[in-house]
Amino acid sequence: MARIRKQIVAGSDVITLDRSPVQEHFVTLTPQGDETPESLFHRAGEVVHQIGGQVVSVEVLGMSAADRKALPQLMQAVDGSGLAVGWVENTRADNLCGVHIWLLEGTPITRVKLGDAVVGSIFEDDCGRCCRLVGLLPTDVSANRTEQTSEIFAQMETALRDLGMVWSDVYRTWFYNHDILDWYGEFNAVRTDLFHARKVFDGVVPASTGIGGGNAIDAALVAGLVALQPKSEDVRIFQVDSPLQSSARDYGSSFSRAVEVACLDHRRLYVSGTASIDKAGNTIFLDDCRSQVAKTMEVVQAILESREMGWGDVNRALAYFKRAQDAPFLAAYRQENDLPRFPVIVAENDVCRHDLLFEIEIDAVKAN
């Protein structure tokens, strides 16, 4: 039987999915006041050592280019094995940033490599073989953006193939594109062409986030994914529609609104990056961030409720504001609507349209 536990460790939110003997811990850290990145990373190490287990992945959102110097400190604090990190930059305006760590106990983790570089982790449990790739970067930053994007997809395919996996095993992707507003259409064309070539549209199209953000080597983009090879027919992976929005494919974006992974003792829901878009694919509440936040949260809540879940089931959330000064609108919405506590990292990042001011992605988990 699966159980969900919630606790605060070293000022961080820790949500544990306990499926003894396997336990997964989802850790979210955000700055306490004016806390420095060095202090935040030190605290991340404290959490990892207090909880125990092995690190599956680390995501760092919202840091500035100047904070790159602290990255080795984070690596040493949480894991000394050269683990890959998803490092996404902006300006750290108003100290909007955070760290998310996925920890695992009860089953061994193997590091995934491309050449000599560690690019992720793979482990096996009762549900199947799970692969998490994180922090994928192009090797040639002098290449044009289309070429760098193509290389990222080639890296994904190579890593999957080396593990005996294919694109049909992938159910969640992330793409953080530098200067996204200049070339999101170009990026989408590369992804759509590959998905057609690999017949991804014949199966489950991954949930995804495509958002603005820099990276540690000033490449065109940084990316990641999660893939699962189920052990039995009892484990189901399927697309989840949005009750309040149409398919993203209707306006040229190749991702699902959400994907659910249903195992015998628990269910996981992965909601793609979601923004204030109506059923016709149009941005609504132009120049009104407060209303865009409200609409976006309403859309995500409808997806959660369609799967008999709620905000209290969220184990990981990343919220992106085009303008740092608008970030208080999310806290205000949560308070005004009496939402239960859930972990969220808030950062300043461009969304994929000039007129979108807010986007949020969530993962949720519920025991059966």
Q: What is the pLDDT of residues 187-223, one digit of tens each?
A: 999 999 999 999 999 999 999 999 999 999 999 999 9
Look at residues 51, 59, 46, 56 and name the one whose alpha carbon lies nearest to residue 15. 51
| Residue 339 pLDDT exceeds 70 | yes
* DSSP per-residue letters across 129-164: EEEEEEEE--S-TTS-HHHHHHHHHHHHHHHHHHTT
All residues at 6 or more sequence positions from 71 whose CB lies less than 8 Å from its CB, including other chains: 60, 85, 87, 216
| Residue 248 pLDDT exceeds 80 | no
Look at residues 241, 345, 351 and name the one whose alpha carbon lies nearest to residue 302. 241
Q: How far apart are CA 256 and CA 238, in angstroms?
A: 10
Kindly report, residue by residue over 72-111, the tens digit of the pLDDT.
Answer: 889 888 876 678 899 999 999 999 999 999 999 999 999 9
Look at residues 123, 159, 141 and name the one whose alpha carbon lies nearest to residue 221. 141
Q: Which residue has the tokens 């893939």?
A: 227
pLDDT, position 249: 76
Look at residues 175, 273, 253 and name the one whose alpha carbon lies nearest to residue 215. 175
DSSP character for 275? -
Peptide bond into 340 cis (omega under 30): no
Peptide bond into 21 cis (omega under 30): yes
Q: How far apart are CA 60 and CA 71, in angstroms?
A: 9
pLDDT, position 252: 64
Domain 232-368 has CATH 3.20.20.70: no
| Residue 253 pLDDT exceeds 80 | no
Q: Which residues pair with 160 in a beta bridge?
A: none
Q: Which residue has the tokens 């995934």?
A: 112
pLDDT, position 81: 67
Look at residues 359, 329, 357, 360 and name the one whose alpha carbon lies nearest to residue 343. 360
pLDDT-derived band of residue 305, with 50, 70 and 90 as boundaries? very high
Among positive and negative, which fits the CA dihedral 253, 254, 255, 256? positive
Q: How far apart are CA 182 and CA 188, in angstroms?
A: 12
Q: Which residue has the tokens 């184990």?
A: 315
**Mean of the pLDDT values across residues 275-304?**
97
**Mean of the pLDDT values across residues 135-145?**
97
pLDDT, position 83: 82
| Residue 350 pLDDT exceeds 80 | yes
Q: Are 158 and 139 in contact, with CB atoms under 8 Å apart? A: no
| Residue 31 pLDDT exceeds 80 | yes
**Mean of the pLDDT values across residues 117-132?**
96
Q: How far is CA 260 from the centre of its chain?
A: 15
| Residue 303 pLDDT exceeds 90 | yes
What are 138's two structure tokens?
């192009």
All residues at 6 or more sequence positions from 140 whose CB lies less than 8 Å from its CB, including other chains: 147, 148, 151
| Residue 362 pLDDT exceeds 80 | yes
Maximal C-alpha separation, the chain? 51
All residues at 6 or more sequence positions from 147 whose CB lies less than 8 Å from its CB, including other chains: 138, 140
pLDDT, position 79: 78
* DSSP per-residue letters across 188-203: HHHHHHHHHHTTGGGS
| Residue 348 pLDDT exceeds 80 | yes
Strand 345-348 relative to strand 314-321: parallel, antiparallel, unpaired? parallel
Q: How many CB atoms lie within 10 A of CB 190?
A: 18
| Residue 58 pLDDT exceeds 80 | yes
* Percent share of the chain, pLDDT over 70: 99
Strand order across the 22-29 sheet = 3-9, 12-19, 22-29, 98-105, 54-63, 85-89
Within 13 Å of residue 264, how many CA atoms lie on the same side as its CB?
Answer: 11
Look at residues 329, 349, 163, 215 and name the one whose alpha carbon lies nearest to residue 273. 349
pLDDT-derived band of residue 247, with 50, 70 and 90 as boundaries? confident
Whether the pTM exceeds 0.85: the reply is: yes
